A and B are shown apart, each in its own frame.
Chain A
């Protein structure tokens, strides 16, 4: 059976096209669904294995980034999304989508509880920036999206990427359970240790991504869908043209996981 992916669009989401492309490249059937249609027909989720909230500026990031969309999903889709997760299905949030998942409280999803434990807020620099970063995957993460990946480079394009956790108890749990799925590092792999531009936002503990304890719900600030192609890399004209972009592996992992566990 074919893996089916539902990519959310509408109201200022703007990376849906390349996110669609990413899952299609990874071998999934992809449908882009407008938020209005999904709110009207939540059963659309039933036919999908993977649900994605792409990057963009949902509702202009007014009030705070991702907040209004997060509230819409929480008020109107919490039950269907919880059921979606309970069936062992996958959820991805990229950039603004990660902000949405975090603020609606479905990440980190401790003990299956929808509750906001972290937030993403204005970068330390106070400005939106587009730059490439180095990322490392902590060994203990259960994140199925990052299976077999230890490090890669991706672009960030964010004004509110600084992750802050609720308190030290949450922080300890995130680290202990491997829910910190990606960390910003220096080009040589040493921790960014909060230093700009290696950690581009000032995110606490260099956290660039989180997953839930099952490893199936995943949110990240960098854009893997912006590196499907070797030519997307800023140095490809000096390093040589790779056959594919490093971001693609992540989507392939998810589609492969869904194929073996859900189809």
Chain B
């Protein structure tokens, strides 16, 4: 088959923004000044095309007549010192190549033949950069060698190529399908463990033994012989068990029996932290709030939005894939959680996304351990992946965070959340209820299956190590998914299916395995599954986590209509088998049975873990006071405003589409210049109703080392404060808990496992206590428990981290409040008490002071305040409201002021805090900065009576921000100085 190459570039007279952007990135990230860079798009056509056809494609499709030029089988690069071409490795999703193929077929008026394909690559042409520098640029910025190949060439070398490709054709070489093996488990304990490691099962010895014993049972062997299967498990059966029983899918640690020594010698037994705290909490709160619809047992939590609509919410992590390939990892994170919502109930339309990234400092200047990427690269890549995934799917990002901590060097955290809306009834059926029935066809829709994403579930159930598989990395294809979700919404409304779920971790094995639980069995023919390329073993087909796929149970009566609609919508849909009530999950390949697993053993055979937890004595809470020192703290405030966890993230956020669907009510950035940091996103999803949804997040890993209880309580309180600040009422808030922990299982490589598990219990206790008092049910959640890096002698464990995502139904969006101060003369109030809780604070971090007391939360007192504040907001008494968090009061006040482009004249005497540093920078929880018009001040104070409410000054016309503390400490700065300090750090 001939291979042709079409190069397309901007004509030389036009500026090349992509080249300029790369040059800027080289300057910022690599500290190198380089000359001009031009970018050339390359399309490699592996197809039989005539010269006339090539010319037609070049002009009709590839070349913009206004600004571009192009060449067939010749290079456009000229006057260069060297160039780099970057393309994908074989088998990696190539979205641009696939779209180009559709475009070519349109231009030619015919389909390309089987085996013909188009591949996209990019050529970077450097004017005066040497080959060595080019290599640095290629390996550090342009190519990720897990998924991409690159080549560097000099002009002489290019001449020798004479228009031929620089890169190997990324075509998957088809090879014979491996035979199904059977695996001997009658081995020594050591050999069983070795087997589990070698084959990436990630199963513990006890679990391997339970599987061995199952296969040694006489009844099991009799059954197997009767259907012609060997006594020993087949490779596909082992893979199914390994992924179904993985930590990722089964949450073994959250369900374990834990013997907990609280440090006082007494040991108590906790029978599953999930049941004892999370589920118990939701059961209790569920008795008091009337709007829970479906919790814990679907792909997302579902609550009532209004009488006729349901709201679904889910957040996921995609940490391990993002560590290896930040772009693909984050993109598959966001499109993956979109599928969770698309697969909740009978299918929800995604209406917003949230993105939270946790990384080490992008300015990290020490050596990076092997296999880890620089935090700057992770930040850029993960942000771009989440951005492209969300934007191209047409789902607005409405809330999120960038969080920095040195130990996220070991594993970045990538949290992706999605909210969805559905009518409460679909063709008279409750939209949250679904079940496959015996006889229903098993239909897979969307993308095809490849080797991508194999072992994702088991891979994310262990630390990042040298053998971490590159196949776990994959790139998303939002357009294929968008086509599929458009189609599924149509099929849903036409009532064409009984059940739907997504193919995420564990692929078909997980989706079919779970859906088969209700009917009680399934038969699946793996050779019918559409593949990206031949050569996949049956087990690979079944556990591949290739993206953009949903599995449905389609009744035979509507199957024809379902498949027909799919075809019309350009969506691949394939019948793979049928659900039944046989009690077995059975897989066939080319007519031969390759797996038969007892449904009961598969889903309930996993032995429960027994774990030990013991809280290490906490270092005595050192009494640290900021003490003596200078009286002018203006510079300290400016440094804080510029610190990573506080500074503006506007450049990152603006790259997300945050208004598609047209439902936006409160945006991420607010105020006169649209640059003040909002507290919660608010949308109004139905055009004929003022009812809305507010969504926010809270996350405080910086307190974790001092006290996991505080870390958790502060995360929950922050999320709730953010909602209350915009006008949400207590009793309307639902929560999602996403735990990301370092491995908490005691072992040789984790000698402090007992303590980390005790921290998990402390965290769950806080979650339970705070949410119970706030009446917040946890409607869904997820845990990721192996966030460690371990290669050689280097071990980096992340700080225990809870992301708390909170959403509230807002009855009347016309009442919501933004953060920006509105009018000179308005009074400035601080709500909530300020205590000496400087431990873990941004101020202490800045001053390099460790120790101190982390903030705590008094939920009863806080709830009273939140209810009073809500009455004031509903009464129209509040002009602006801003939550007080990282950096403390001074930061919150400054942000409110510059957002409104107005000054403040403040005196903190009323707070009753003697030490000015504490008053300004302590991060005590449950506080707000509120401004109130003088006309409303009396009424406001009356509503707040009984809660801590202190008037500290006024909003001024003069653009000057001044604070005086009782001990003589003070701050004075112009709004411009404050704003620019806040904006400059991440102004990339």
Query: Which residues does chain B contribute within 8 Å of A223, judged by CB atoms?
Result: 659, 662
Say yes or no for A68: interface residue by CB 8 A criterion: yes
Taking a contact as CB atoms closer than 8 A, the residue among B21, B102, B822 that contacts A126 in the complex is B21
Contact present for B61 and A21 (CB under 8 Å): no
Interface centre among B17, B18, B96 (most CB of A within 10 A): B17
Q: In whole Å, how far is B488's beta carbon from the nearest beta carbon of chain A? A: 13
Given known contacts A59-B99, A62-B100, A234-B667, A226 and B662 CB-to-CB distance under 8 angstroms: yes
A122 nearest CB neighbor, chain B only: B17
| B108-129 near A? 1/0 per residue, CB < 8 Å | 0100000000001000000000
Query: Which residues does chain A contribute within 8 Å of B17, judged by CB atoms?
Result: 122-126
Q: How far is the CA of A128 from the CA of B387 in the complex (A)?
A: 9
Contact present for B393 and A63 (CB under 8 Å): no
Taking a contact as CB atoms closer than 8 A, the residue among B100, B102, B817 that contacts A237 in the complex is B817
Contact present for A127 and B659 (CB under 8 Å): no
Say yes or no for B459: interface residue by CB 8 A criterion: no
Say yes or no for B408: interface residue by CB 8 A criterion: no
Contact present for A36 and B392 (CB under 8 Å): no
Given known contacts A21-B687, A119-B66, A234-B667, A68 and B818 CB-to-CB distance under 8 angstroms: no
Interface centre among B98, B660, B820 (most CB of A within 10 A): B660
Query: Which residues does chain B contribute within 8 Å of A127, judged by CB atoms?
Result: 21, 655
> In chain A, residues 21-67, which have Cβ atoms closer than 8 Å to a Cβ of chain B?
21, 25, 34, 36-37, 55-57, 59-64, 67
Contact present for B569 and A225 (CB under 8 Å): no
Q: How far is the CA of A25 from the CA of B66 in the complex (A)?
A: 38
| A153-179 near B? 1/0 per residue, CB < 8 Å | 001010000001110000000000000
Contact present for A229 and B818 (CB under 8 Å): no
> In chain B, residues 817-875, which have Cβ atoms closer than 8 Å to a Cβ of chain A?
817-818, 820, 822
Q: How far is the CA of A63 from the CA of B42 in the complex (A)?
A: 10
Given known contacts A62-B100, A63-B62, A68-B99, A238 and B662 CB-to-CB distance under 8 angstroms: no
Q: Contacting chain B: which of A8-16, A80-88, A208-216, A251-259?
A: A8-16
Query: Which residues does chain A contribute within 8 Å of B21, judged by CB atoms?
Result: 126-127
Query: Which residues does chain A contribute within 8 Å of B482, judged by CB atoms?
Result: 12, 14, 57
Q: Contacting chain B: which of A129-137, A139-147, A188-196?
A: A129-137
Contact present for B670 and A57 (CB under 8 Å): no
Say yes or no for B64: interface residue by CB 8 A criterion: yes
Given known contacts A18-B662, A60-B96, A63-B99, A126 and B655 CB-to-CB distance under 8 angstroms: no
B43 nearest CB neighbor, chain A only: A63
> In chain A, residues 64-100, which have Cβ atoms closer than 8 Å to a Cβ of chain B?
64, 67-68, 71-72, 75
Q: How far is the CA of A57 from the CA of B99 in the complex (A)?
A: 12
Say yes or no for B816: interface residue by CB 8 A criterion: yes
Contact present for A57 and B64 (CB under 8 Å): no
Query: Which residues does chain A contribute within 8 Å of B191, judged by CB atoms?
Result: none
Interface residues of chain A: helix, strand, loop or mixed (majority):
mixed
Contact present for B813 and A130 (CB under 8 Å): no
> In chain B, residues 48-102, which have Cβ atoms closer than 8 Å to a Cβ of chain A?
60-62, 64-67, 95-96, 98-100, 102
Contact present for A235 and B672 (CB under 8 Å): yes
Contact present for B666 and A14 (CB under 8 Å): no
Say yes or no for A262: interface residue by CB 8 A criterion: no
Contact present for B818 and A237 (CB under 8 Å): yes
> In chain A, residues 180-225, which have Cβ atoms closer than 8 Å to a Cβ of chain B?
223, 225
Query: Which residues does chain B contribute within 8 Å of A114, judged by CB atoms?
Result: none
Contact present for B61 and A63 (CB under 8 Å): yes
B813 nearest CB neighbor, chain A only: A231
Q: In whole Å, how far is B348's beta carbon from the nearest beta carbon of chain A? A: 14
Q: In whole Å, how far is A133's beta carbon from the nearest beta carbon of chain B? A: 11
B349 nearest CB neighbor, chain A only: A17
Say yes or no for A5: interface residue by CB 8 A criterion: no
Q: In whole Å, how far is A28's beta carbon from the nearest beta carbon of chain B? A: 15
A9 nearest CB neighbor, chain B only: B486
Contact present for B103 and A132 (CB under 8 Å): no
A60 nearest CB neighbor, chain B only: B479
Contact present for A62 and B66 (CB under 8 Å): no
Q: How far is the CA of A127 from the CA of B569 in the complex (A)?
A: 31
Given known contacts A71-B60, A122-B17, A238-B900, A231 and B662 CB-to-CB distance under 8 angstroms: no
Say yes or no for B478: interface residue by CB 8 A criterion: yes
Say yes or no for B656: interface residue by CB 8 A criterion: yes
Query: Which residues does chain A contribute within 8 Å of B664, judged by CB atoms?
Result: 226, 231-232
Contact present for A130 and B486 (CB under 8 Å): no
Query: Which residues does chain B contribute within 8 Å of A234, judged by CB atoms?
Result: 667, 669-670, 674
A10 nearest CB neighbor, chain B only: B486
Taking a contact as CB atoms closer than 8 A, the residue among A68, A119, A121, A130 that contacts B102 in the complex is A68
Say yes or no for B287: interface residue by CB 8 A criterion: no
Contact present for A238 and B822 (CB under 8 Å): yes
Q: In whole Å, how far is B670's beta carbon from the nearest beta carbon of chain A? A: 7
Q: In whole Å, how far is B328's beta carbon from the nearest beta carbon of chain A? A: 15
Contact present for B654 and A129 (CB under 8 Å): yes
Contact present for B660 and A71 (CB under 8 Å): no
Say yes or no for A106: interface residue by CB 8 A criterion: no
B682 nearest CB neighbor, chain A only: A231
A72 nearest CB neighbor, chain B only: B106
Say yes or no for A228: interface residue by CB 8 A criterion: yes
Say yes or no for B197: interface residue by CB 8 A criterion: no
Contact present for A10 and B483 (CB under 8 Å): yes
Contact present for A129 and B655 (CB under 8 Å): yes
Say yes or no for B658: interface residue by CB 8 A criterion: yes
Q: How far is the CA of A237 from the CA of B670 in the complex (A)?
A: 9
Say yes or no for A149: interface residue by CB 8 A criterion: no
Say yes or no for B814: interface residue by CB 8 A criterion: yes
Q: In whole Å, how far is A106's beta carbon from the nearest beta carbon of chain B? A: 15
Contact present for B672 and A164 (CB under 8 Å): no
Query: Which residues does chain A contribute within 8 Å of B655, judged by CB atoms?
Result: 127-130
Q: How far is the CA of A72 from the CA of B108 in the complex (A)?
A: 11
Taking a contact as CB atoms closer than 8 A, the residue among B60, B62, B67, B665 that contacts A231 in the complex is B665
Q: How far is the CA of A232 from the CA of B486 in the complex (A)?
A: 25
Given known contacts A12-B482, A37-B568, A229 and B65 CB-to-CB distance under 8 angstroms: no
A11 nearest CB neighbor, chain B only: B483
Q: In whole Å, how far is B484's beta carbon from the nearest beta carbon of chain A? A: 12
Query: Which residues does chain A contribute within 8 Å of B662, judged by CB atoms?
Result: 15, 17-18, 21, 223, 225-229, 232
Say yes or no for B661: interface residue by CB 8 A criterion: yes
Say yes or no for B261: interface residue by CB 8 A criterion: no
Query: Which residues does chain B contribute within 8 Å of A166, judged by CB atoms?
Result: 65-66
Contact present for B61 and A56 (CB under 8 Å): no
Contact present for B66 and A132 (CB under 8 Å): no
Q: In whole Å, how far is B42's beta carbon from the nearest beta carbon of chain A? A: 12
Query: Which residues does chain B contribute within 8 Å of A103, judged by CB atoms?
Result: 64
21 contacts between A and B (CB under 8 A): A9-B486, A12-B482, A14-B482, A18-B661, A60-B99, A61-B392, A62-B120, A63-B61, A63-B62, A67-B103, A75-B106, A75-B107, A124-B15, A157-B391, A226-B662, A226-B664, A227-B662, A228-B687, A229-B662, A235-B672, A237-B817
Interchain residue pairs A-B with the least CB separation, the first 4: A14-B394, A18-B662, A62-B99, A126-B21
Binding site for A on B (CB under 8 A): 10, 14-15, 17-18, 20-21, 60-62, 64-67, 95-96, 98-100, 102-103, 106-107, 109, 120, 387, 391-394, 478-479, 482-483, 486, 568-570, 654-662, 664-667, 669-672, 674, 684, 687, 813-814, 816-818, 820, 822, 900
Q: A56-B394, A75-B106 are in contact. List 8 more A-B contacts (CB 8 A).
A: A57-B478, A63-B99, A75-B109, A157-B391, A157-B660, A164-B14, A231-B684, A232-B664
